[in-house]
Amino acid sequence: MAETENDKAAAATAPAQNENAPQVGVISQYTKDLSFENPNAPHSFQTMAESKPSIDVNIGVATNKLNEESHEVELKVNVQAKNGDSNTFVIELVYAGVFGLKNVPEEQVQPFLLIQAPTLLFPFARRVIADASRDGGFPPLLLEPIDFGALYQHTLAQAQQEAEAKGDAS
């Protein structure tokens, strides 16, 4: 089958169209900060054997624009396991990634950085948390999956309520 002029023209313009298409990718990912504390060892192991600790998990996401096409996204995970008033263990993790964004519309940058990027980082942060708790002498702590889309929507709604409250106060 012979190529037509239309096929040749389409093939010649395809690379130009692809150059303008939105592109995103993970450039690198890394543990930026990790802290594991077992302040009451070895007593905490005995306490844990007697009763299950309450576990409080806090998740946060921060972004930092590195240049026109690169952004760092930090997934901050704080875990505090307590038995009564005493800490069984504390884990603080900042797991980060550098993401390349090219030709992404401005209105889609923030949702990507605060939803999709942490969703990509989370499984790796989850493994670091599990390894840290296991290496600290406790059963591996396997965090439940996080809905970063819902977290983003909640943050937007909270910011809107605060803005409205400031507007009413003036």
pLDDT band at residue 5 using 50, 70 and 90 as cut-offs: low
Specify whether the CB–CB gap between 35 and 92 falls below 8 A.
yes
Between 48 and 10, the more confident residue is: 48
In order of 17, 22, 131, the CA distances from 137 in angstroms are 55, 46, 10
Does the residue 143 lie in any domain? yes
What per-residue confidence (pLDDT) applies to 140? Answer: 95
> Which CATH number goes with the domain that contains 133?
3.10.420.10
pTM recorded for the entire structure: 0.80
Q: State the pLDDT at residue 7.
A: 55
Residue type, 56: D
Q: Can you tell me the mean pLDDT for 105-120? A: 92
5 within a domain of the structure (yes/no): no
Number of domains in the chain: 1
Residue 87 has what pLDDT?
87
Place of tokens 């192991």: 45
Cα dihedral value 88, 75, 153, 104, nearest 10: -170
With left for phi above 0 and alpha for psi between -120 and 50, is residue 67 left, alpha or beta? beta
Residue 17 is assigned to a structural domain of this protein: no
pLDDT above 60: residue 95 = yes
> Confidence class of residue 13 from pLDDT cuts 50, 70 and 90?
very low
Q: Hey, is 68 helix, strand or coil?
A: coil
Q: Are 42 and 65 in contact (CB under 8 A)?
A: no
The arithmetic mean of pLDDT across residues 29-51, rounded, is 86
**In which domain, by residue range, is 57 found?**
23-155
Of the ranges 40-54, 131-145, 154-168, the best mean pLDDT one: 131-145
The answer to whether residue 18 is domain-embedded is no
Report the distance separating Cα 68 and Cα 72, nearest Å: 12
Is the previous residue joined to 145 through a cis bond, with omega within 30 degrees of 0? no
Question: Residue 90 carries which side chain, given as an amino acid letter?
Answer: V
Grouping H, G, I as helix, E, B as strand and the rest as coil, residue 152 is: helix
Instruction: Note the pLDDT tens digit of each residue in 150-161.
Output: 999 988 888 888
CA-to-CA distance for 47 and 37, rounded, in angstroms? 16
